[in-house]
Structure formats: structure tokens, C-alpha cells
Amino acid sequence: MNLENTLVQMRKGILEYCIMHIISRGEVYASDMLEELTSVKIMVVEGTLYPLLTRLRKAGLVEYKWVESNSGPPRKYYTLTDAGNDFLQNLDATWKDLVNSTEKITSFKH
């Protein structure tokens, strides 16, 4: 079994959740999301982020607006929709259950 493949799958599984949390704080630009994710060692590239944001938008969980920029072309700023906030609340509950269960399993001693 390939460790790197397993690590990639673990990261992919958590990426959408982390992105939604970043967006839940308020309007956010994609490069700011990339910077925050990278700063906490969740490595992601634009080629991964933008398709994920598109999928979230098509699902009605995020929306964006264009904002003029003084330093270049207009920028898309993302926010969660009401449906996105509800979805994230459900993810939060599931995450807490998973962390609790995982901690119980991984801390069990014979």
C-alpha cells in the first residue's frame, strides 16, 4: 500500500470542510484561501481549489461577487449561502463525532 496515496486521500476528504470554514468567516478571495490553507500545511493548488469552488457554487452552498481591484482585474469574493451555512453545521457535527471516535480508537491501549 502506498503511504502517499493514503495521505492524499485523507487531505482531499478534509479540504472541502476547511474551505467552507474559511468562507464562513466572511467574504474571502481565493488566493487568501490558498494562503491560509498552505500556512497550516494543507497543500492545495489553484487547479484543485477552483474546481472545488465551482462545485460548491453549483450545489448552492457558496456564491461570489466581483469586486474591482486597484492592483489588477476584478476579484471574486466568496461567501456561504444560507444552504451552505446549514450544510457546514451538519459537517461540524459529523466532524466532532469523527474526531471523538478516532481519538477513542487511537488512544485505546491493550
Q: 28 with 36: CB under 8 angstroms? A: no
C-alpha to C-alpha distance for 34 and 69, rounded to whole angstroms: 19
Which residue in 27, 29, 25, 19 sits closest to 71, CA to CA? 29
Residue-range domains of the chain with CATH: 3-107 (1.10.10.10)
The DSSP secondary structure of 22-88, one letter per residue, reads: HHHTS-EEHHHHHHHHHHTT----HHHHHHHHHHHHHTTSEEEEEEEETTEEEEEEEEE-HHHHHHH
Per-residue pLDDT 10s for the chain (110 aa) are: 889 888 878 888 799 999 999 999 999 999 999 999 999 988 888 888 999 999 999 999 999 999 988 888 899 999 999 999 999 999 999 999 999 999 999 998 87
User: Is the separation of the CB atoms in 78 and 27 below 8 Å?
Assistant: yes
Q: What is the pLDDT of residue 108?
A: 87
CB atoms under 10 Å from CB of 15, counted, come to: 17
